[in-house]
Amino acid sequence: MERFFYPNSIVIFGASKNEKKGGNHVLRNILNFTRENVFIIHPRHQEIYGIKCYREISNLTQEEIDLAIIILPVEYVLDTLEECLQFGVKSIILESGSLYIKDESDKNLEKRIQEIKSKIGGHYRSRIMGPNSIGIYSAKKDDSGLITSLIYFDKLPKLKERNLAVVSQTGLTLSGLLQSYNYIQELGISKIASIGNKFDVNESDILDFLENDDDTDAIGLYLEDIKDGNRFKEQCRRIVKKKPIILLKSGKTEKGKKAIISHTKSLAGNYKVIEALCKQLGIIEVDDFEEMFNVAKCLLNQPIPKNNRIGIISISGAGTVLSSDLSEKYDLRLVEMNETQIEELHQIFPKFAWHDIYNPLDIWSAVEKVGPDTAYKFSGDIFLKENNIDILIYFLTGIEETEFDWDILHEFNQKYPNTAIYMGFFGGDKKLLLKWREVLEDKLNIPTFESITTLFRTISKIM
Query: Hey, where are the domains in the chain?
Result: 2-129, 135-301, 309-462
Widest pairwise Cα distance in the chain: 87
Total residues found in the chain within this entry: 463
- For residues 44 and 361, give the distance between their C-alpha atoms in angstroms, rounded to a whole number: 70
What confidence score (pLDDT) does residue 111 get? Answer: 86
Question: What residue type is assigned to position 138 of the chain?
Answer: S
Which helix (H) or strand (E) is 137 found in, with range?
strand 135-139
Q: Which percentage of the chain shows pLDDT scores above 70?
A: 95
pLDDT, average across residues 274-278: 90
Q: What angle do CA 6, 8, 11 make, to 5 degrees?
A: 105
390 has pLDDT over 90: yes
- For residues 91 and 2, give the distance between their C-alpha atoms in angstroms, rounded to a whole number: 9
**Closest Cα to residue 216, out of 195, 246, 196?**
246
pLDDT, average across residues 91-111: 81
What backbone phi and psi angles, to 5 degrees, belong to 316?
Answer: -125, 140
- Band (pLDDT 50/70/90 cuts) for residue 28 is very high
- Say if 135-301 and 309-462 have the same CATH topology: yes
266 has pLDDT over 90: no
- For residues 164 and 18, give the distance between their C-alpha atoms in angstroms, rounded to a whole number: 34
Q: Which percentage of the chain shows pLDDT scores above 90?
A: 81
Domain 2-129 superfamily per CATH: NAD(P)-binding Rossmann-like Domain (3.40.50.720)
Burial readout 286-310 (b: 16 or more C-beta within 10 A, e: otherwise): beebebbbbbbbbbbbbbebeebbb
**Cβ neighbour number for residue 64 with a 10 Å cutoff:** 13
- For residues 125 and 91, give the distance between their C-alpha atoms in angstroms, rounded to a whole number: 9
- For residues 405 and 76, give the distance between their C-alpha atoms in angstroms, rounded to a whole number: 59
The CATH number of domain 309-462, selected from 3.40.50.261, 3.20.20.450, 3.30.70.60, 3.30.559.10: 3.40.50.261
**Closest Cα to residue 389, out of 337, 454, 441?**
337
pTM: 0.92
- pLDDT tens digit sequence for 209-260: 999 999 999 999 999 889 888 999 999 999 999 999 999 998 665 554 455 4
191 has pLDDT over 80: yes
Which residues are within 8 A (CB) of 63 and not within 5 positions of it... i.e. 6 or more apart? none
- Band (pLDDT 50/70/90 cuts) for residue 364 is very high
In CATH, the architecture of 135-301 is: 3-Layer(aba) Sandwich (3.40)
261 has pLDDT over 60: no
